[in-house]
Amino acid sequence: MLKKISIFLISLLVLSTSFSLAQELDGAEVLKRLEASRQAKSHQMLMEMELYSSSGDMRSRKLNNYRQEGEVDRSLMQFTEPADIEGTSFLLLDDQANDQEDMYLYLPALGGVRKISGSQKNGSFVGSDLTYNDISIFSGSNFSDNYRAEIISENEEIIELYLEIIDPDIDYSYGKMWVRKDLWLGEKIEYYNQQEELIKVINLSSYDEIDGNRLARKIEVKNVQKGSSTILKMLEVEFDPELDPNIFTTRYLQRQ
**How does residue 114 score in pLDDT terms, banded at 50, 70 and 90?**
very high
pLDDT for the residue numbered 169: 83
pLDDT for the residue numbered 139: 65
Asked whether residue 250 is assigned to any structural domain, the reply reads yes
pLDDT for the residue numbered 99: 77
Residue 116: Cβ-neighbour burial (10 angstroms; 0-12, 13-18, 19+): buried
Residue 103: Cβ-neighbour burial (10 angstroms; 0-12, 13-18, 19+): buried
* Residue 215: C-alpha distances to residues 100, 145, 187 (Å): 26, 19, 11
How large is the average pLDDT for residues 104-114?
A: 89
* Residue 252: C-alpha distances to residues 89, 112, 114 (Å): 10, 11, 14
Asked whether residue 8 is assigned to any structural domain, the reply reads no
Distance of CA 69 to the CA centre of its chain: 15
Asked whether residue 19 is assigned to any structural domain, the reply reads no
Asked whether residue 32 is assigned to any structural domain, the reply reads yes
pLDDT for the residue numbered 133: 87
Q: What is the CATH number of the domain that holds 81?
A: 2.50.20.10
**How does residue 76 score in pLDDT terms, banded at 50, 70 and 90?**
very high
Prediction pTM value: 0.85
pLDDT for the residue numbered 96: 77
Q: Is the pLDDT of residue 253 over 90?
A: no
pLDDT for the residue numbered 227: 96
Asked whether residue 177 is assigned to any structural domain, the reply reads yes
How large is the average pLDDT for residues 27-42?
A: 89
* Inter-residue contact 124 to 111 (CB < 8 Å): no
Nearest of 134, 139, 187 to residue 161 by alpha carbon? 187
pLDDT digits (tens, 9 = 90+) for 211-232: 999 999 999 999 999 999 999 9
Asked whether residue 66 is assigned to any structural domain, the reply reads yes
How large is the average pLDDT for residues 47-56?
A: 96
Q: How far apart are CA 84 and CA 96, in angstroms?
A: 35
* Inter-residue contact 147 to 163 (CB < 8 Å): yes
- Other residues' Cβ atoms within 10 Å of the Cβ of residue 4: 8
**How does residue 112 score in pLDDT terms, banded at 50, 70 and 90?**
confident
Asked whether residue 100 is assigned to any structural domain, the reply reads yes
Using CA atoms in the order 187, 119, 130, 46, what is the torsion angle rounded to 10 degrees? -100
143: helix, strand or coil: helix
Return the higher-pLDDT residue of 191 and 13. 191
* Inter-residue contact 160 to 178 (CB < 8 Å): yes
**Does an H or E element contain 14, and which?**
helix 2-24
pLDDT for the residue numbered 38: 83
Write out the residue range of the structural domain in which residue 75 sits. 26-255
Asked whether residue 72 is assigned to any structural domain, the reply reads yes
Q: Is the pLDDT of residue 8 over 50?
A: no
Domain total in the chain: 1
Q: Is the pLDDT of residue 157 over 90?
A: yes
Q: How far apart are CA 95 and CA 22, in angstroms?
A: 34
Q: How far apart are CA 154 and CA 180, in angstroms?
A: 10
